[in-house]
Amino acid sequence: MKEQDQIDQEYRVEAAEIARPGIEPLIPILPWPPRVRVSGLYAASRIVTPPIPAPGPLPIQPVPLAQPMPGIAPTAAGPWQIEELLPWGFLREELRLDVDGRYPQMMASGTLYGVLAKRVHWIARLTASGPNAWTGSIWFKDGDVASFPYTMVEITTTATFLSSQRKAVVRFSGGGTSVRTRTLAFKSPYFRQVEFEFDCATGVTATTHIGTHDHPNRPATLPGETLTIEEVYRRVGFDVRKSGSDSIVPIGDAGTNARWSDNEMHDAMQVYWSRFAGKAQWSLWVFFARLHEQGTSLGGIMFDDIGPNHRQGTAIFNESFISTAPTGDANPVAWAKRMRFWTACHEMGHAFNLAHSWQKQHPPDWGTPWIPLANEPEARSFMNYPYNVSGGQTAFFSDFAYRFSDNELVFMRHAPERFVQMGNADWFDHHGFEQASASPEPALKLNLRVDRAQATYQFLEPVVLELKLTNIGSRPLVLEKELLSMTDHMTVIVKKRDKPARQYLPFARYCHDMQAQVVMPGEFVTDSLFISVGRNGWDIAEPGYYTIQIALHMETEDVVSEALTIRVAPPRGYDEEFIAQDFFSDDVGRILNFDGSAILRRGNDTLREVSDRFGDRAVAYHARVALASPLAKDYKVLDMGDRMGEMASAKEAGGRLRRAAPRIEEARQLYTSALLEKKDQAIATLGRTDYEYYLGRFRESLMEHGAVLKKEPRDVKRDAKREKNGDIEHTMRVIKETLSSLKDQEPVSR
Amino acid sequence: MLLHIALQEGFHHDEVRVSVDAREVWGSADLTTRRQTGYAAAVEVDVAHTPVVVEVVLSKRGVAQTKSVSVDRPTYLGVSLTTEGNLAWKTSYEPFGYL
């Protein structure tokens, strides 16, 4: 940790810096009075008071005392001053405030560290609410989110040149719980620490700095300076150190062909990197060599997707195409040096889990995006290929300010540590997180909810989410009426803990007549999403924790929901485990998704077994609704006779549409059992939106098949209005009255 | 004359066959793009006339597309699979570079 005087000195320098993204002015404009930069890391920790042991036979283990965070300056009140205790179970808390200095992203993020690896991470988008105050909504949570219900944060800083007296007061609110206020001490102007080690193969020179004015093709406003790799990453927000002493790696380690394979480099990393360890750590090995075995076409590579700890090593190949300037270039030597420097920063970016600028959107079989959104093919970022932008590398470097894009900065500064830290999440796992092109001042907020107090699901129970899109702006908004049911506007990610994320792909996309609706400030629209199974198969099936997050793609921005974590309980016993082999099938998935089928017989048999044998379990409600729906009405089936499976058109094969008669009484029994007998349990598992929908279908089927209720016209009108307004009790009463009246009538069809 | 055909972005455990003028010049039963570099594989063919017709077939995906390419000087043809499942072709007279 730096000496206090040095940190204070940095702050005085930073105070004279105009914080603006992009290119810095040639002549610095000095603000007056000098501003104190407040961005950086704040922290608090506490002495843990062991809980009072309850009487019992088990010995209570003492809880270890937390140690003060290194770098938190002692104060007169004690080694660390805490105004309020952290919630029980949390020992340490960090805040990363990102509102000024280099490329401010107007974000804050925080991490609460607890015992037994308990941890919560949150990120909020901020707007200034005063001279040293910011407020914003929390748009991302990760970890033990149940213990952190807050949705809003207000941050006030004490701006002083004495960093030892600098602090941030953080006030959390929302989420239906009491306000929580915390005071955190300033720790560092950087958000995180990282170590780099630069090693070279024999006879190769590392390019770790350049003169930004050495090549004439550059932005006119680019400040002239000697820029180091360390400084590039300091501007990202890392407190960069060098580890070890730079080593020479004998060329013999590359084998007889003197070219490096990924495995040879991985071996060299283990031998020559002073920090090598089989664990996640904020430390990176950067290797400069002549050539990769792929030849001159490979300029560099983050080679380390080998073994359990990825992204610890990266390499740059000095004799590849990156050292060959274009024909006629004004300064070929400077061009090549700049390209080697650029490549080093680029490959190191991969080690921080950044993807290429054009890889933000990709199909799910590539792996594990977190929130994949728009590509940035024209970005002037270290993560883009200079020669792939419009106008080629000349256009790129004429407008390149030696920086990462805003989304990439948000990722490296604020994403959960495990997404970014070397050796932690696998390469490309979670990388998409940075791609959300969410507005800094969003007008809409998307909430994911479940109709239950705790987001725990029984084994086999399908998961139905309630989506709520609220106008949180100050102006009316015009939205498409079916926006939330049009899944082609959404990216839905489901991630099981310790498994790669998967993109939920619905079985069908629905094309709706485009109808607009006005949503006033404070108003919202809702819909449901059946998320357990889709074209990918069963995304939610095995017991464990799952995190779900949705990005809703609007015309000009993306609305990203908070992450919702749910838990699937283990099976109740052998019988559930046994039937799971049939239940988690494509047929059953399709039947549940489409609310029934008259032709997927094997799936229907499984659902009937579920309904009969597991009638007290939540899955039975889903099974009964799915079984009832095709029985409640005329059902058209394409009958292909004996030609099923042959390659021919339905017409050529003699196919004809056959009408399957409804089996009303059976449908009534199933609907009654699913919807009327235990209403609260049904709503909890089907979701309120779908429950209302099924109730409506039940009522319609009764009316279609003989139920006649004598009512005055005004009552009919009133009933219609109440049903339209989602009055469940009323619809249930109507259904019960109808069923009662039917007892005296002969069923019209069975 | 050199025709360099590079299979680049978007491949994931794909069965791929590359043909030039109906002659198969390269194939793989399991091709995956290395996402660090955007490179999957490459083949170099010496062609005797111009233009030639290059066909890339991804049998498991049911994708088969052809492109007529002039090869009157050393030519580099990049083929990528888009997120929509189509092939994107890029012709260059400079070697491709990967980072």
CATH classification at residue A557: 2.60.40.2970
- List CB contacts of A710: < 8 A, sequence separation 6 or more: none
A299·B98 Cβ contact <8 A: yes
Average pLDDT over residues A443-470: 90
The answer to whether residue A57 sits within a structural domain is: no
| B:65-84 residues touching chain A, CB 8 A cutoff | 83
Assign A582 a pLDDT band (cuts: 50, 70, 90): very high
What mean pLDDT is reported for chain A?
80
* Domain final residue, candidates A518, A544, A568: A568
- Give chain B positions within 8 Å (CB) of A301: 36-37, 98-99
**By residue range, what is the domain housing residue A663?**
574-742
The answer to whether residue A335 sits within a structural domain is: yes
Q: How many CB atoms lie within 10 A of CB A322?
A: 27
Cα–Cα–Cα angle for A44, A50, A53, rounded to 5 degrees: 155
Does residue A283 register a pLDDT over 50?
A: yes
Average pLDDT over residues B30-50: 94
**CA A566 to CA A497: how far, in whole Å?**
10
- Give chain B positions within 8 Å (CB) of A343: 99
Q: What are the tokens at A415?
A: 């994403």
In chain A, the residue whose alpha carbon lies closest to the alpha carbon of B6 is: A297
Whether B38 and chain A come into contact, CB under 8 Å, resolves to yes
With beta carbons less than 8 A apart as the criterion, state whether A717 and A677 touch.
no
* Domain final residue, candidates A156, A189, A222: A189
Q: What is the pLDDT of residues A547-573, one digit of tens each?
A: 888 888 776 667 888 888 899 999 999
B99·A427 Cβ contact <8 A: no
**CA A292 to CA A259: how far, in whole Å?**
5
Residue A511 is predicted with a pLDDT of 56
Q: How many CB atoms lie within 10 A of CB A116?
A: 6
What does the H/E/C string look like for A131-149? CCEEEEEEEEEEECHHHCC
The answer to whether residue A677 sits within a structural domain is: yes
* Element holding A289 (H helix, E strand): strand A283-289
Q: Which residues pair with B52 in a beta bridge?
A: B69
Residue A714 is predicted with a pLDDT of 61
Average pLDDT over residues A431-454: 69
Domain count, chain A: 4
Across the interface, of A301, A363, A387, the residue whose CB is closest to B37 is A301
A363·B12 Cβ contact <8 A: yes
Assign B33 a pLDDT band (cuts: 50, 70, 90): very high
B97·A320 Cβ contact <8 A: yes
**CA A610 to CA A708: how far, in whole Å?**
34
Residue A417 and residue A525 in one domain: no
With beta carbons less than 8 A apart as the criterion, state whether A313 and A266 touch.
yes
- List CB contacts of A623: < 8 A, sequence separation 6 or more: A607, A608, A610, A611
DSSP string, A615-636: TTSHHHHHHHHHHHHHHSS-EE
- Give chain B positions within 8 Å (CB) of A428: 35
Across the interface, of A297, A302, A387, the residue whose CB is closest to B36 is A302
Residue A412 and residue A492 in one domain: no
Residue A185 and residue A197 in one domain: no
| A507 against A652, higher pLDDT | A507
**CA A390 to CA A399: how far, in whole Å?**
12
Tally A–B CB contacts below 8 A. Answer: 56
Q: Is A462 helix (H, G, I), strand (E, B) or coil?
A: coil
Written as one letter, the residue type at B81 is L
B interface mutation test: which of A262, A362, A390 has the most B CBs within 10 A?
A362
Q: Report how far Cα A61 is from the mean position of its chain's Cα atoms.
A: 37
* Domain final residue, candidates A539, A568, A597: A568
With beta carbons less than 8 A apart as the criterion, state whether A546 and A495 touch.
yes
Assign A453 a pLDDT band (cuts: 50, 70, 90): confident
Half-sphere exposure of A260 (CA within 13 A, CB side): 33
Residue A253 is predicted with a pLDDT of 74
Question: What interface predicted TM-score (ipTM) does this complex get?
Answer: 0.87
Q: What is the pLDDT of residues A253-265, one digit of tens each?
A: 777 677 999 989 9
| A:342-401 residues touching chain B, CB 8 A cutoff | 343, 346-347, 350, 355-356, 358-359, 361-363, 365-366, 385, 387
Whether B13 and chain A come into contact, CB under 8 Å, resolves to yes
Cα–Cα–Cα angle for A90, A144, A487, rounded to 5 degrees: 155
What mean pLDDT is reported for chain B?
94
Q: Is A524 helix (H, G, I), strand (E, B) or coil?
A: strand
The answer to whether residue A460 sits within a structural domain is: yes
With beta carbons less than 8 A apart as the criterion, state whether A627 and A592 touch.
no
Residue A597 and residue A700 in one domain: yes
Whether A506 and chain B come into contact, CB under 8 Å, resolves to no
Residue A610 and residue A691 in one domain: yes
| A123 against A368, higher pLDDT | A123
How do strand A464-471 and strand A564-568 relate by DSSP bridges?
unpaired
- List CB contacts of A68: < 8 A, sequence separation 6 or more: A45, A79, A80
Residue A164 and residue A220 in one domain: no
Q: How far B96 CA lies from chain A's nearest CA (Å)?
A: 6
The answer to whether residue A686 sits within a structural domain is: yes
Q: How far B8 CA lies from chain A's nearest CA (Å)?
A: 12
Residue A173 and residue A70 in one domain: yes
With beta carbons less than 8 A apart as the criterion, state whether A392 and A332 touch.
no
The answer to whether residue A440 sits within a structural domain is: no
Assign A450 a pLDDT band (cuts: 50, 70, 90): confident
Range picked from A357-366, B15-24, B75-84 for highest mean pLDDT? B15-24
Across the interface, of B12, B37, B39, the residue whose CB is closest to A366 is B12
The answer to whether residue A673 sits within a structural domain is: yes
Residue A379 and residue A244 in one domain: yes
Residue A612 is predicted with a pLDDT of 93
The answer to whether residue A441 sits within a structural domain is: no
Q: Which residues pair with A518 in a beta bridge?
A: A478
Residue A169 and residue A222 in one domain: no
Residue A698 and residue A672 in one domain: yes
B interface mutation test: which of A321, A335, A375 has the most B CBs within 10 A?
A321
Assign A745 a pLDDT band (cuts: 50, 70, 90): low
Residue A171 and residue A44 in one domain: yes
Task: For residue A742, count CB atoms less than 10 angstroms from its CB and return exposed for 0-12, middle for 13-18, buried for 19 or more.
Answer: buried
**CA A134 to CA A393: how far, in whole Å?**
40
Q: How far A725 CA lies from chain B's nearest CA (Å)?
A: 40
CATH classification at residue A309: 3.40.390.10
- Give chain B positions within 8 Å (CB) of A365: 12-13
Residue A429 and residue A492 in one domain: no
Does residue A279 register a pLDDT over 80?
A: yes
Return the exposure string of A433-471: e unless at least 16 CB atoms fall within 10 Å of the residue's CB, then b. bbbbbbeeebbbbbbbebbbeebebbbbbbbbbbbbbbb
Does residue A708 register a pLDDT over 50?
A: yes
Q: Which domains are seen in chain B, by residue range?
A: 2-92 (2.60.40)
